[in-house]
Structure formats: C-alpha cells, structure tokens
Amino acid sequence: MCTLIRFKTFVKSTSKLLPAPSYENFSEILMREKVHVSPFSSLVYPPSAKELLDLAFKRSFKPRSSKERDPIRSARMREVGRIASMADVISSRLKEVVRSFPSFDALHPFYRELADVLIGVDELRVALSRLDWGRKMIRRLSRQYIRRLMGSEDFREMERIRKAAMGRISSIVKSISTDIDFVRSACQKLGKIPNIQVGSPTIVIAGMPNTGKSTLVRRISSGKPEIASYPFTTRSLLLGHFYLKGGALRVQVIDTPGLLDRPLSERNVIELQAILALKRLAWLIVYIIDPTETCGYSVKSQISLFEEITKEFSDIEVIITLNKRDLWSQFLENVGKCKKLLEERQKFFYEISAERGLGIDTLTATLGKEILELYDIRKARKSVD
Ligand SMILES: Nc1nc2c(ncn2[C@@H]2O[C@H](COP(=O)(O)OP(=O)(O)OP(=O)(O)O)[C@@H](O)[C@H]2O)c(=O)[nH]1
Ligand SMILES: [Mg+2]
C-alpha cells in the first residue's frame, strides 16, 4: 500500500525532480571504468579428445636436430623426446583447462547457482577431476616409459617402448573423452554469462514471453538483446547499463527469458535463469504486461504470474508496466480487463510503448529515483554495520 502511494506521488513529481538518466556515451564510460568480469570469463576451452591426440602426435613427430653422434644414444633421445613431447602437450593443455575454472565453493551464490542450473556443478566437478586424473596419469606413464628407454640399447626395443607409451597415453585420453566433451559444453555455456556485478544497483526486467522485455532493455539501457515477434527469443540473461549521478553510478539492467505461469518445480533451465536473477540480483523488478495479448498470453495469466512473483520476492519492489501502448486502440476490451484487474488489486502501473518510446521518460525517471533511494538505504546500512 505504502508502495502504491509512493508510486502515485512519483508519477507526478519525478520527471520534474530528476532529469531522466543520460543514456549516451555508454561505451566511453564503460572503457573509463574498471569493468567487473564474470568468474567464467577466462575459461580455457579444451580441444576434443581427437583434436588433442592429433596435436600431440603431430608435435611428437616433429623432426628435431641432434648433435649426438652415437646412433644408439641418438635413437634413444629421439624416442624419449617423442614420449615427453606427447605427454607434455596433453597434460599441459589439460592443466590449463582445469586451472581456468574458479573454485565453486568460493563463488558468489548467484554464479554458483547459475552454473548449477546451466550445467550441474557436481557433474562438472567430477569431469574436471577426471581431466586432472588423466593429466597426472599421463605424466606418470611417460616417466615410467622414459626410464625403460634409458635402459635399452636396442633400436627395435626402443621403438616398441615408444609405441607402447603412446598407445597407453592415447587410451587415457580416449577414456576421458566424454569428460572433455562435458567440459567443452560447460565452457561454451558459462563463457556466455555476461559480466554481471553482483551487489551493484540492478533492475531485473521480467514478464511472460513476447511481452516486450528485450525491447524495453534496448530502450532504457546500453543492452542490445535480440527482439523478435515469437516467444522465447531471449534464452539467457543479458545485460545493459545506464548511469545516474552524472555517470558516477552505474545501474545494471538485466533482460530475462520469459516466464510461464507455472510452479517452480516445472520450470525449465531457461526460466530458472530468470528466477535466479530475480532472487539473487534484483534491487528493483520491472514487470511487463502486454495487455493487448498479442504476445500470445492472456491478461489473466500475466497477472497471475505477477502475483506469484510478488509473493515469492515480497521484499523486492515491483514496478508494473503495461506495454504496447501504441496498439491499445485495437484491443480496448483486453486493455480494459487488464486495468480493471490491477485496479481491483490496488496496483499502480505505467503505460508505455517500449517500441515507440511512449511513457519511457516517466518510467526511467522513476527507476532512477527508486534506485538512488535504495542505494542510499544500502549505503547507510553498510556504514552502520
Ligand atoms: N507494437 C508494439 N510492439 C512491441 C512493443 N514492444 C515490443 N513489441 C514487439 O513485441 C515482440 C516481442 O518483443 P521482445 O522485446 O522480443 O519481447 P520479449 O518479452 O523480450 O520476448 P522473449 O524474449 O521471447 O520473452 C516484438 O515483435 C516487438 O517488436 C511495443 O511497445 N509496441
Ligand atoms: Mg527477450
């Protein structure tokens, strides 16, 4: 109720009190600032088992010059070099991959839970430990076979030892090929996570599919998510920014995949990312409703989802926006129904057209004012702590 009164006051006063945030020169400001990076931004993508073996064989058979005159010693050094080089190529590459992953226990819950939703942290841990096991086994094997080579004086025997070493090393790589594939797919998915700065001012845009979330993100921030006339265009979290306090305060705007009106237990991986953003990142939620129903979802189900969200995230301010204002004259009945349902619930809403830019100044002024208030509250709380 208190929120309702505050919004009603804002709508009259904010555009005068506060200039709409400036959305220009984002890239310049981004370059000036130290941009926070995702813990997965420097993952090393492993080659497949086949690519790794091809590379290792190629390197091990690369001709090397030797000053050794003694033919036995020269042959021995050549075979030792081949085993060592093969083991080195594979184990150093695997080590690089494993080391590039952050410690999951030390990660912020947002990033850990997101990794869990996208790939499964336990499965990833197992796959990484298998890669590490493979790397150590290959090192150990290469040492064993090199010791055997050092004791051999026979050309044929040396060749046999080298072939046996390469066969064993190849078998190990093949035995971890599914783990390598799992890590490759993890790198692909985690590498796409944007550089979201947890704990900094964040607005999360939520709503059912096709309601205009991405269009609004493009309109109010530097984010450039894809827009299309079909549902589930956005399949992961996307990030944009705008600036307050003359560029001194950066606000994150997060575009989320569309949510359906259904229980948490039935939500898929795409929807769970949106839930996670609401749970772990949102200072403020902008809930978009398409009252024209051209999104393909009824007003009733959009309001039912809104109620679920406000119940689930009751400590977060939710700003309702009714989108596609430019089409309303063609859908008066649906729009009337939507407004009536919200008014019955005593909910204030903003009327916008994200595509045409209608009502955007008032909305952004409110967002700016709300975020500044929340920022001051959090700052004051921190200084007391
Ligand atoms: N006429 C009109 N169309 C709009 C408006 N806002 C968005 N649209 C259209 O609605 C469709 C969906 O827009 P998106 O921004 O992709 O919607 P979304 O909510 O991000 O969709 P998902 O990512 O699939 O959940 C696109 O065809 C947009 O052009 C608006 O204000 N007016
Ligand atoms: Mg979208």
Domains along the sequence of the chain with CATH: 2-38+195-384 (3.40.50.300), 49-191 (1.20.120.1190)
319 CB neighbour count, 10 Å cutoff: 21
CA of 297 to the centre of ligand 2 (A): 15
CA of 80 to the centre of ligand 2 (A): 57
CA of 255 to the centre of ligand 2 (A): 7
Q: What are the pLDDT tens digits along the chain (385 aa)?
A: 343 443 333 333 333 333 333 433 444 444 444 445 789 999 999 999 999 999 999 999 887 777 878 999 999 999 999 999 999 999 999 999 999 999 999 999 999 999 999 999 999 999 999 999 999 999 999 999 999 999 999 999 999 999 999 999 999 999 999 999 999 999 999 999 999 999 999 999 999 999 999 999 999 999 999 999 999 999 999 999 999 999 999 999 999 999 999 988 899 999 999 999 999 999 999 999 999 999 999 999 999 999 999 999 999 999 999 999 999 999 999 999 999 999 999 999 999 999 999 999 999 999 999 999 999 998 888 777 6
Which residues have C-beta atoms less than 6 Å from ligand 1? 207, 209-215, 227-229, 231-234, 257-258, 323-324, 326-327, 353-356
Atom of ligand 1 at shortest distance to CA of 216? 15
Ligand 2 (ion): residues with CB under 5 Å are 213-214, 233-234
Of the candidates 85, 91, 88, 81, the residue with the CA atom closest to the CA atom of residue 158: 81
Q: Which residues pair with 289 in a beta bridge?
A: 322
Q: Whose CA is nearest to atom 25 of ligand 1?
A: 209
Of the candidates 149, 169, 144, the residue with the CA atom closest to the CA atom of residue 74: 149
Residue 131 vs residues 40, 56, 63, 288: alpha-carbon distances, Å: 18, 16, 29, 45
Q: Whose CA is nearest to atom 30 of ligand 1?
A: 324
| pLDDT reported for residue 36 | 55
Q: Whose CA is nearest to atom 32 of ligand 1?
A: 324
| pLDDT reported for residue 360 | 97
Q: Which amino acid, one-letter code, is at 291?
A: P
Please measure the distance between the N-terminal and C-terminal CA atoms of the chain and give it in whole angstroms.
29
